[in-house]
Amino acid sequence: MRPDEFRRRAHQLVDWMADYFQNVGELPITPDVHPGDIMRVLPEAAPDDAESFDRIWEDFQQLILPGMTHWNHPGWFAYFPANNSPPSVLAEMVTATLGAQCMSWATSPAATELEQITMTWLRQMLGLPEGFTGVIQDTASTATLVALLSARQRYQSEPGDESSGRLTVYASTEAHSSVEKAVKLSGIGLEQFRRIAVDDEYAMRADLLAQAIQRDLGNGYRPACVVATAGTTSSTAIDPLSAVAEICDGRKVWLHVDAAYAGAAAIVPELRPLFAGIERADSIVFNPHKWMLVNFDCSAYFVRDTQALLRTFQITPEYLRTSQDAEVVNYRDWGIQLGRRFRALKLWFVIRQYGVNGLRDMIRHHVGLAHQLAGRIRETPGFEVVAPVRFGLVCFRYCPRAAAGLDSERLNDLNRRVLARVNAGRKVFLTHTMLGGNHVLRMAIGQRLTMRSHVEMAWDLIQEAASSETA
């Protein structure tokens, strides 16, 4: 493709992109496809000869786009948001064009230093003390694994240290699956993973954590890491961070705080008190790619003991040595991957384009909508809000008077059917979770384009669906 054709095609795509941003709300939010439908219409072998971009683009529009789930649709209430934004997309265009591989300072000095700057900005925006240093990881799963490996490293100062086989890790029963995955991948092993029970607001019980650690110490285990959650995936519960930090302090237990979704809310002054104690953590992860208008992937990892991190990840072969190594940050030593995209650029574009106040306003807008929705649900007979609303997520279920005699499995099934009916309309998309044995509907409000009208439409659709399903 010659430069002039690229110019023409890229302009063509920009018009499509701008149209998409304007019209995404009119598309079916989820595709009407069955497993295998898309594979069936695509050729089984790669073309030997070049094809025209016209044909590729037509196929994209005809075959691929109708099979996509539209995460940036204003009716998006599923999982957590992965909201993007115009300035973030502009930055991605530049990042892709430069095609720089930012593993070391020398392989792109501006990328490294812009990452240092934007991570300092983020640290300040969250109200974290100077003791924390930030680095961009791809996802929170990776960041949590990085934290666990760093905690493990603390106990492996000597090769072959036998005690490293006795490390234990702690998280609440509501912690994200990435914690379990990280425990498994780190080699610590699930048999040394302690799930701490939660209170009636789904937050970790600090007293039970203290007991578990004490018991393990008595049995010759070495408690290595506690993963506390600020904003659980199921219900945005917040573990008691100060109490947990108190328990970790002095016992040399690494405290990692998973604030993947909710962390963005810490930039809002009136919401920051919810995170009290987070400043005592050893490491923290939050995802600007969830709720801060930065394209996926961009996960912010803050760590206090950068030496533990470097001891875990630093390996410098000859072909990567540069004369500046002693003076600079080489981010390849701060995580699993050697190669790195220039992800700081989108963070910089987004923070500047909206300003910190603009980002705060967006979060306030979503949190306000969530509280309004929760109010509507609470005042509607036959529905109940089942967990505290702290951020943009509302957890609720349908339990009509007619269902009073139903056993919980049949009530769960009723809620499953209501959810399926709501989603079948493809105007909004919600997902579910289980809380205390109950099948619960989750409505996560956090899309950039989501307005009050979208939330109201969703609530109308939910009520309609509920009234159409018989207990």
Of residues 251 through 290, those in contact with a second copy by CB under 8 A are 289
197 binds a second copy (CB under 8 A): no
Element (H, E) at 378: helix 344-378
| Among the listed residues 113, 143, 104, the one whose alpha carbon sits nearest the alpha carbon of residue 322 | 104
Residue 113 near residue 348, CB atoms below 8 Å: no
Element (H, E) at 402: none
Longest distance between any two alpha carbons in the chain, whole Å: 75
108 binds a second copy (CB under 8 A): yes
Compute the least distance from the CB of residue 1 to a second copy, in Å.
4
**The binder of a second copy chosen from 89, 243, 385, 406 (CB under 8 A):** 89
Whole-number Å distance between alpha carbons of 188 and 223: 11
Residue 212 near residue 170, CB atoms below 8 Å: yes
Q: Which amino acid is at 203?
A: A
Residue 188 near residue 154, CB atoms below 8 Å: no
364 binds a second copy (CB under 8 A): no
**The binder of a second copy chosen from 26, 200, 318, 379 (CB under 8 A):** 318
Nearer to a second copy, 164 or 450 (CB): 164
217 binds a second copy (CB under 8 A): no
426 binds a second copy (CB under 8 A): no
105 binds a second copy (CB under 8 A): yes
6 binds a second copy (CB under 8 A): yes
90 binds a second copy (CB under 8 A): yes
Of residues 19 through 38, those in contact with a second copy by CB under 8 A are 20-22, 31, 33, 35-38
Whole-number Å distance between alpha carbons of 288 and 345: 13
Q: Which amino acid is at 120?
A: T
Nearer to a second copy, 327 or 379 (CB): 327
Q: Which amino acid is at 229?
A: T
Of residues 64 through 83, those in contact with a second copy by CB under 8 A are 64-72, 79, 82-83
Compute the least distance from the CB of residue 9 to a second copy, in Å.
6
Whole-number Å distance between alpha carbons of 156 and 246: 24
**The binder of a second copy chosen from 26, 39, 269, 407 (CB under 8 A):** 39
Of residues 289 through 308, those in contact with a second copy by CB under 8 A are 289, 295-297
| Among the listed residues 349, 370, 224, the one whose alpha carbon sits nearest the alpha carbon of residue 294 | 349
Residues 185, 189, 190: CA angle, nearest 5 degrees: 105
The packing angle between helices 344-378 and 86-98, to 10°, is 150
186 binds a second copy (CB under 8 A): yes
1 binds a second copy (CB under 8 A): yes
Four-CA torsion 157, 194, 241, 236, nearest 10 degrees: 130
132 binds a second copy (CB under 8 A): no
47 binds a second copy (CB under 8 A): yes
236 binds a second copy (CB under 8 A): no
Compute the least distance from the CB of residue 12 to a second copy, in Å.
9
**The binder of a second copy chosen from 431, 456, 457, 464 (CB under 8 A):** 431
406 binds a second copy (CB under 8 A): no
Q: Which amino acid is at 3?
A: P
Compute the least distance from the CB of residue 353 to a second copy, in Å.
6
Nearer to a second copy, 100 or 243 (CB): 100
Compute the least distance from the CB of residue 133 to a second copy, in Å.
14
Whole-number Å distance between alpha carbons of 315 and 330: 11
DSSP 230: B
**The binder of a second copy chosen from 256, 366, 390, 442 (CB under 8 A):** 442
| Residue pointed to by tokens 């939910």 | 462
